[in-house]
Amino acid sequence: MPPDYSIYPRYPYAVGFLTRGCIRSCPWCIVPRKEGGIRPAATWQEIKRPDSRTIIFWDNNVLAHEHGLQQIEEMGHADVKVDFNQGLDTRLITPEIAAMLAKLHWVKYVRLSCDTSDMLPVIAQAVAYLREAGIGTHRLWSYMLVQDVEEAYHRALVLKALGIQPFAQPYRDYDGGCEPTAEQKRFARWVNRKEIFYTCGWHEYRRRK
């Protein structure tokens, strides 16, 4: 059933899922355990509020299902603004999908994810497709999981060079067996505080701290 937005009178957006689940089985991710395989959940018309043109989607892998792609295509011709809050799977971004995404009205960022260094060539190709489709570099933003800090540091520099704004998330074991270390938290603060990230190197920042 639709959320009762009347209990949040100052919240101006609609929120919801076009799809639930994911096709991936990333070892750090709880989505397969909680939601299972990917499947349709709703249409964008069912999620949209009549008093707002902005929709925040919480899909974990919307590009992995034909239903999600169909909804994106439809919204490209509609008067709505969107934010896919959980990040798009860059492994699934083709020139055709990039063109489809370029037709959307974005709230602010096109959110991606880059959780390992193996993803760097993939995300570089996806960014090239998105730029060719007309999506400006200022809209590109990416989650990055932080486990090994030096490896994450390399990823952050590559993302920065690609024109992508990174957002670091220290690893937390969802079974409660692993809390973020002080070094992971310090690194995340360096990345996520843009006034620091773009003016001070990580090793310099670490020495100061």
Please name the residues in contact with 86: beta carbons below 8 A apart, sequence gap of 6 or more: 57, 58, 59, 60, 111
Does residue 108 form part of some domain? yes
CB distance 77 to 44 below 8 Å: no
Residue 208 banded pLDDT, cuts 50, 70, 90 = confident
Does residue 126 form part of some domain? yes
Condensed to tens digits (0 to 9), the pLDDT of residues 131-186 reads 999 999 899 999 999 999 999 999 999 999 999 999 999 998 877 677 899 999 99
Taking CB atoms within 8 Å and a gap of at least 24, the contacts of 127-130 are 127/90, 127/162, 127/163, 127/164, 129/93, 129/94, 129/95, 129/97, 129/98, 130/93, 130/98, 130/101, 130/102
Q: What does the alpha-carbon distance between residue 99 and residue 21 come to, in Å, rounded to a whole number?
A: 24
Comparing 3-7, 62-66, 176-180, the range with the smallest average pLDDT is: 176-180
How many independent structural domains does the chain possess?
Answer: 1
Q: Is the pLDDT of residue 189 over 80?
A: yes
Q: Is the pLDDT of residue 209 over 80?
A: no
Does residue 5 form part of some domain? no
pLDDT value for 101: 98
Does residue 191 form part of some domain? yes
Condensed to tens digits (0 to 9), the pLDDT of residues 67-91 reads 999 999 999 999 999 999 999 999 9
Scanning 112-162, the segments in alpha helix (DSSP H) are 120-133, 149-161
pLDDT value for 35: 87
Condensed to tens digits (0 to 9), the pLDDT of residues 12-49 reads 999 999 999 998 888 888 888 888 889 999 999 999 99
pLDDT value for 28: 81
pTM comes to 0.91
Structural domain span for residue 82 = 10-208
Place of tokens 């909680």: 34
Does residue 3 form part of some domain? no
Q: Is the pLDDT of residue 121 over 80?
A: yes
Does residue 1 form part of some domain? no
